[in-house]
């Protein structure tokens, strides 16, 4: 089990040893490189990134480790510890198309991006080992992309710099995985810093580290165990709605509109577009207010903003689901008296995880109560873990 300490050397060592052992078993050779990239969770600021808005995510202490060794030819052979039935094999070439299995596209897309940036990536053998659940809304895809980019840069002997690396990974997601995502996930993974939330202005790409103060609060991640597919159209249609709403409002991006402007333009917008726009502009206001609350240690205020964010995502943006709502209702039911400040769905939605802000001293009690309520409401056993802001990618072994 990962320890409570994010990015503890023990966790890195353990994951690295597991990946290296599988590498030995598969290839009969020693890995020469080991890299790691974390997953992320978003505290608040949801579905705002592709509207030029504000987001407040953090990297977490669970992630993806890759153990690898370059080859003398251009062949890539990869194995995933979590997907043993889906080995990957392909050739690095100038024009690399997407292919099978689906998870290989995060790798193919990143290599294609590195090649387009002029990096000569050689063939390699590699083993991927995840401590992060896949498809659970904790950005396992961004973690894999960023770990792969870190490895690819090492193997090619180039350094892109963190911002270019993050953008290259986002492009891989667009072109190879078919998800037209914003920049939040890849930026959160690349720029994550222990002890800090990361406020990103997605219009200017400016980043501000906001310290997570106080030992008196804990963040719990509650995985509904219901999986979502962001490339099935629900995500893209929200994005298209936002672009159309911005066009009708006469602004470049919804970031440039205010709640008042959207209210005044209600008659110009079909009901659905109005609700989409209202979510985005109010979420931007909530995210900046959350930064103030975090800085001031106003936990009750921060918790209320999280509940309001959830309601807006559920009612205006239509990206929640019964399971996510069940977690939030259970958290609300416990309330301040039982140590819960706030709770909301986190990530793209349609399943995945919730994040709850709770009193540290009562975190175990809250966890048990949420587990029991969720089980009673849905019949599903959730995974719940406490998390803290962790560091971004790391190179754990290189020659
Ligand atoms: C997914 C996307 C992000 C962001 C969130 C919603 O995680 O990858 O870019 O849009 O959904 O906030």
CATH code of the domain in which 227 resides: 3.30.70.890
CA distances from 107 to 90, 173, 175, 196, 281 (A): 10, 10, 12, 29, 35
Structure token digits, residue 242: 């936002």
Indicate whether residue 113 lines ligand 1 (CB < 6 A). no
The alpha carbon of 181 and the centre of ligand 1 are apart by a number of angstroms equal to 6
Mean pLDDT value of segment 3-22: 81
User: How many CB atoms are located within 10 Å of the residue 23 CB?
Assistant: 24
pLDDT at 5: 56
Q: Could you tell me the pTM of the whole model?
A: 0.96
80 strand-pairing partners: 83, 128
Clarify whether residues 70 and 84 are in a common domain. yes
Clarify whether residues 254 and 304 are in a common domain. yes
Indicate whether residue 181 lines ligand 1 (CB < 6 A). yes
pLDDT tens-digit series, residues 353-364 = 999 999 999 999
Clarify whether residues 203 and 310 are in a common domain. no
Task: Looking at the CA of residue 45, tell me the nearest atom of ligand 1.
Answer: 12
SS3 breakdown of the chain: % helix, strand, coil, rounded to 5?
A: 45, 25, 30
Residues 6+ apart with CB under 8 A from 51: 182, 202, 242, 246, 253, 254, 255, 280
Clarify whether residues 100 and 230 are in a common domain. no
Mean pLDDT value of segment 112-127: 97
Domain count, the chain: 2
Task: Looking at the CA of residue 50, tell me the nearest atom of ligand 1.
Answer: 10
Clarify whether residues 267 and 184 are in a common domain. no
Percent of the chain with pLDDT strictly greater than 70? 97
pLDDT at 297: 95
Mean pLDDT value of segment 318-338: 97
Clarify whether residues 21 and 166 are in a common domain. yes
Clarify whether residues 198 and 258 are in a common domain. no
| CATH number of the CATH domain containing 31 | 3.30.230.10
pLDDT at 76 over 50: yes
pLDDT tens-digit series, residues 335-358 = 999 999 999 999 999 999 999 999
Contact predicate 299/357, CB 8 Å: yes
pLDDT at 15: 95
Radius of gyration for the alpha carbons in the chain, expressed in angstroms and rounded: 21
Clarify whether residues 40 and 54 are in a common domain. yes
Q: Which of 1-10, 74-83, 267-276, 355-364 is least confident? A: 1-10
Clarify whether residues 142 and 278 are in a common domain. no
Mean pLDDT value of segment 238-257: 98
Indicate whether residue 46 lines ligand 1 (CB < 6 A). yes
Which of 106, 173, 184, 352 is the pocket-test mutation for ligand 1 (most atoms within 8 Å of CB)? 184
Which has the higher per-residue pLDDT, 294 or 227? 294
pLDDT at 9: 74
Q: How far apart (Å, rounded) are the C-alpha atoms in residues 151 and 330? A: 42
Indicate whether residue 303 lines ligand 1 (CB < 6 A). no
pLDDT at 8 over 80: no
pLDDT at 229: 63
pLDDT at 135: 74
Clarify whether residues 287 and 164 are in a common domain. no
The alpha carbon of 311 and the centre of ligand 1 are apart by a number of angstroms equal to 17
Percent of the chain with pLDDT strictly greater than 90? 91
Q: Which domain holds residue 202?
A: 3-208+392-397
The alpha carbon of 260 and the centre of ligand 1 are apart by a number of angstroms equal to 25
Clarify whether residues 308 and 269 are in a common domain. yes
């Amino acid at each position: 089990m990962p320890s409570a300490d994010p990015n503890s050397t023990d966790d890195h060592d353990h994951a690295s040893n597991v990946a290296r052992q599988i590498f030995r078993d598969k290839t009969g050779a020693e890995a020469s490189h080991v890299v790691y990239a974390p997953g992320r969770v978003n505290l608040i600021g949801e579905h705002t990134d592709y509207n030029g808005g504000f987001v407040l995510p953090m990297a977490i202490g669970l992630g993806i480790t890759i153990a690898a060794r370059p080859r003398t030819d251009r062949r890539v052979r990869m194995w995933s510890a979590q997907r043993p039935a889906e080995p990957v094999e392909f050739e690095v070439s100038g024009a690399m198309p997407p292919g099978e299995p689906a998870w290989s596209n995060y790798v193919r897309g990143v290599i294609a991006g590195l090649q387009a940036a002029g990096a000569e990536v050689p063939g390699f053998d590699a083993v991927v080992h995840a401590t992060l659940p896949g498809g659970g809304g904790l950005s396992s895809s961004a973690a894999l992309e960023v770990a792969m980019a870190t490895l690819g840069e090492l193997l090619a002997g180039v350094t892109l710099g963190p911002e270019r690396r993050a953008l290259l990974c986002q492009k891989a997601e667009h072109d190879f995985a078919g998800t037209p995502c914003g920049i939040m996930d890849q930026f959160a993974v690349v720029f994550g810093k222990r002890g800090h939330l990361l406020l990103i202005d997605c219009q200017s790409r400016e980043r501000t580290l906001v310290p997570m103060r106080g030992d008196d609060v804990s963040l719990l991640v509650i995985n509904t165990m219901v999986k979502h597919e962001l490339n099935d159209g629900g995500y893209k249609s929200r994005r298209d709605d936002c672009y159309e709403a911005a066009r009708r409002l006469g602004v470049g991006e919804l970031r440039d509109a205010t709640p008042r402007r959207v209210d005044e333009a209600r008659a110009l917008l079909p009901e659905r577009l109005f609700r989409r726009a209202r979510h985005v502009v109010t979420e931007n206001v909530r995210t900046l207010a959350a930064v103030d609350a975090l800085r001031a240690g106003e936990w009750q205020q921060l918790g209320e903003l999280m509940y309001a964010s959830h309601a807006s995502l559920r009612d205006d943006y239509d990206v929640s689901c019964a399971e996510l709502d069940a977690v939030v209702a259970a958290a609300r039911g416990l309330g301040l008296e039982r140590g819960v400040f706030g709770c909301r769905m986190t990530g793209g939605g349609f399943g995945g995880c919730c994040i709850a802000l709770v009193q540290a001293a009562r975190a175990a009690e809250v966890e048990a109560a949420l587990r029991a309520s969720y089980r009673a409401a849905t019949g599903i056993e959730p995974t719940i873990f406490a998390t803290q802001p962790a560091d971004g990618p790391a190179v754990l072994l290189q020659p």
